Structure formats: C-alpha cells, structure tokens
C-alpha cells in the first residue's frame, strides 16, 4: 500500500503531529496526544490508536497497560495538514490515565478564575487500573 498520504501531514520540527481523539458516537473530545509517522501508519494498519510517547521515547499503544483501547473508526486531517483527528470507539469508557472518561476534566469557572476545578468524576481509581 502506498504511504504517500503520510507526506501530506505537516510534521513539526520533532517529526510529530498533534492527534485529537474524539468519541465517534458522542463527539466528546477524549484526549490529545502526539503521533509520528510510524505511529500514524501503525494506527491505520492495526485499526487501533497508537501514539508517540514523548516521555517514554517510544510508541504507545493506547490501552497497553490499562486495557482502555481506542478502536479507530475514522481518521481526518485538518485543513492545514498539521493536526489529525481520530474518531474512535473508547473501550472501557476511560481515556484518561487519571481514571476519567476524558482528559479535559479541569475547568476555569466563571466567577472563580483563580484556579482550575475538577468537574468530571473519576470512574476508576488509577491505582486499580495500573498495577
């Protein structure tokens, strides 16, 4: 299979592109991570989200330790070619390493712009997920 489609992605200076994972059914934004050529190609090939972990310096198969995998439903490239959108089926109902449904659980609330507030519940204690 031709990999010319990878050349249409605008990679940053580190060879990465931001990747937004969105629940294909609800439209809820689950998380943002980074992908390199290898992880994006592997995601398409395997049909499950595979990211580039900057902290680990290696491919990160979403759910490899938690079991909360992301099945690829649809893949989009934005108009500038510098962000990818993965529409996924989030298995296990948890996308965030904090045990929440998604990573965007902190909110700066009107009237209290002094700190971020956790506004989404923990669905499962991370200690029970990552043993």
Q: What is the pLDDT of residues 23-39, one digit of tens each?
A: 999 999 999 999 999 99
Structural domain count of the chain: 1
With a cut of 80, say whether residue 120 has pLDDT above it: yes
Residue 35 lies in a domain: yes
Whole-model pTM: value is: 0.91
Q: What is the pLDDT of residue 109?
A: 84
With a cut of 70, say whether residue 1 has pLDDT above it: no
Domain that residue 30 falls in:
16-93
Which letter, b or e, does each residue of 21-38 get, where b requires 16 or more Cβ atoms within 10 Å of its Cβ?
bbbbeeeeebbebbbbbe
What is the pLDDT confidence band of residue 43, given thresholds at 50, 70 and 90? Answer: very high
What sign for the dihedral angle of Cα 17, 108, 90, 124? Answer: positive
Whole-number CA gyration radius for the chain? 16
With a cut of 90, say whether residue 111 has pLDDT above it: no
Residue 105 lies in a domain: no
Residue 2 lies in a domain: no
Residue 113 lies in a domain: no
Q: What is the pLDDT of residue 77?
A: 98
Q: What is the pLDDT of residues 59-90, one digit of tens each?
A: 999 999 899 999 999 999 999 999 999 999 99
Q: Which residues, in sequence order, are bridge partners of residue 112?
A: 109
pLDDT (average), residues 94-121: 90
Which letter, b or e, does each residue of 82-103 get, where b requires 16 or more Cβ atoms within 10 Å of its Cβ?
ebbbbbbebbeebbbebbbbbb
Q: How do strand 50-53 and strand 58-61 relate by DSSP bridges?
A: antiparallel
Looking at per-residue confidence, does 86 or 131 come out higher? 86
Instruction: Classify residue 18 as exposed, middle or buried by CB count within 10 Å of its CB (0-12, 13-18, 19+).
Output: middle
Looking at residue 79, which CATH number applies to its domain?
3.10.20.810
């Amino acid at each position: 299979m031709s990999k010319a489609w990878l050349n249409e992605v605008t990679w940053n200076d580190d060879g990465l592109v931001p990747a937004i994972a969105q629940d294909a059914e609800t439209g809820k934004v689950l998380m943002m991570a980074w992908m390199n050529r290898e992880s994006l190609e592997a995601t398409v090939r395997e049909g499950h989200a595979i990211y580039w972990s900057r902290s680990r310096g290696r491919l990160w198969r979403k759910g490899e330790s938690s079991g909360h995998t992301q099945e690829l439903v649809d893949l989009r490239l934005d108009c500038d070619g510098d962000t990818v959108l993965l529409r996924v089926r989030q298995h296990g109902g948890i996308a965030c390493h904090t045990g929440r449904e998604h990573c965007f659980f902190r909110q700066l609330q009107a009237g209290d712009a002094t700190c971020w507030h956790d506004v989404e519940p923990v669905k499962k204690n991370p200690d029970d997920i990552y043993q």
